[in-house]
Amino acid sequence: MKTSFAASVSHELRSPITQIRLKGEALQLGLPLDQDDRARHYEVIVREAERLSRLVDNVLDFAAIERGTKNYHLRLGDLGKTVQNAVDTMRMTMEARGVDLLSRIPDDLPMVKHDSDAIAQVMGNLLSNAAKYGGGWVQVSATLLPEGIQIEVADHGIGIDYQEVERIFDKFYRSSDPEARRRKGTGIGLAIVRYIMEAHGGQVSVYSTPGKGSVFHLFFPFATSGRPISKRPGAS
Ligand code: ADP
């Protein structure tokens, strides 16, 4: 497992590094590029650098989780805003893959304890999977429940066989479905998502119909008091 993990990480590193080098060299050499081409080159560099940092963050965090040294700093904050920021960060990457990203997040959700960097990582992992195994469009929404807040990430892609639904959150697990196998991956993204959600006292679950798509649910419970804490009027 370790060998195939190392091989898949090396494989995943290669593509963004090559793209960044090629586009950077073209700009550095002053090749005749029109305005649009130059803009596209810069866009690819930024997008691929984002992908690279997501991969490196995942590998480093996974190692820290395995060593038992990963800590999260949960602070009372606006989860809706954290999720919306993560969606905005991923938008360019998703659109470049031809995936429309829609979000329906109410701006008056109560505050809930969370680590905003960790939740950005959770959203990055779910959204990059939704683009990778999905297609067309992806929708992120939020629902206020009596006991907490639920974030949903819905895609319209290949879906997941019911026999695999429990296993996809295991470390290194990659589907045996040939369609899923055609996409590159390391098998640690969802293991990190589950770990982070458990560190928040919450959970991640998935509902999927093979051939139709998947919906991932993230549940964030309110603080132990069990009561939602309202956002200050006028606060954004
Ligand atoms: P990987 O690097 O393989 O994408 P993950 O831990 O993120 O690793 O996901 C584990 C497996 O779960 C994937 O290999 C894929 O088979 C399946 N999977 C994850 N997200 C989706 C999705 N949105 N649609 C279909 N299958 C998915």
In order of their start, the domains of the chain are 2-67 (1.10.287.130), 75-224 (3.30.565.10)
Radius of gyration of the chain (CA): 19
Whether residue 233 has pLDDT greater than 90: no
**Ligand 1 midpoint to CA 129 (Å):** 6
pLDDT number for residue 227: 47
Give the angle subtended at the CA of 185 by the CAs of 50 and 80, to the nearest 5°: 50
Concatenating the DSSP letter of every residue in 60-124 gives: HHHHHHHHT------EEE-HHHHHHHHHHHHHHHHHHTT-EEEEE--TTPPBEEE-HHHHHHHHH
Partner residues linked to 219 by β-bridges: 150, 203
Q: Which amino acid is at 217?
A: H
pLDDT number for residue 93: 85
Task: Return the best residue to mutate from 13, 133, 212 for the ligand 1 pocket (most ligand atoms within 8 A of CB).
Answer: 133
Q: How confident is the model over 31-43, as a mean pLDDT?
A: 91
Of the pLDDT bands very low, low, confident and very high (cuts 50, 70, 90), residue 230 is: low
CA 49 to chain centre: 15
pLDDT number for residue 55: 95
User: Which stretches of the chain are assigned E, i.e. beta strand?
Assistant: 75-77, 100-104, 112-114, 137-145, 148-154, 203-209, 213-221
Q: How confident is the model over 42-57, as a mean pLDDT?
A: 93
pLDDT number for residue 5: 87
Q: pLDDT digit string (tens) for 123-154? A: 999 999 999 998 789 999 999 999 999 999 99
Query: Rounded CA gap, 3 and 6, in Å?
Result: 5
Instruction: Output the ligand 1 site: residues, CB below 6 A.
Output: 125, 129-130, 133-134, 155, 157-160, 168, 173-175, 180, 185-191, 214
pLDDT number for residue 181: 86
Q: pLDDT digit string (tens) for 160-192? A: 999 999 899 999 998 888 888 888 889 999 999
Would you state the structure tokens that stand for residue 152, as one six-digit string?
A: 């949903």
Q: Determine which residue's CA is closest to atom 14 belonging to ligand 1.
A: 174
Query: Rounded CA gap, 92 and 71, in Å?
Result: 30
Q: pLDDT digit string (tens) for 96-123? A: 889 999 999 999 999 999 999 999 999 9
**Ligand 1 midpoint to CA 232 (Å):** 38
Q: How confident is the model over 67-76, as a mean pLDDT?
A: 94
Label residue 197 exposed, middle or buried (CB < 10 Å: 0-12, 13-18, 19+). Answer: buried
pLDDT number for residue 189: 96
Of the pLDDT bands very low, low, confident and very high (cuts 50, 70, 90), residue 225 is: very low
Label the pairing between strands 137-145 and 112-114.
Answer: unpaired
Query: Rounded CA gap, 114 and 133, in Å?
Result: 27
Q: Count the residues in the chain.
A: 236
Indicate the average pLDDT of the chain.
Answer: 91
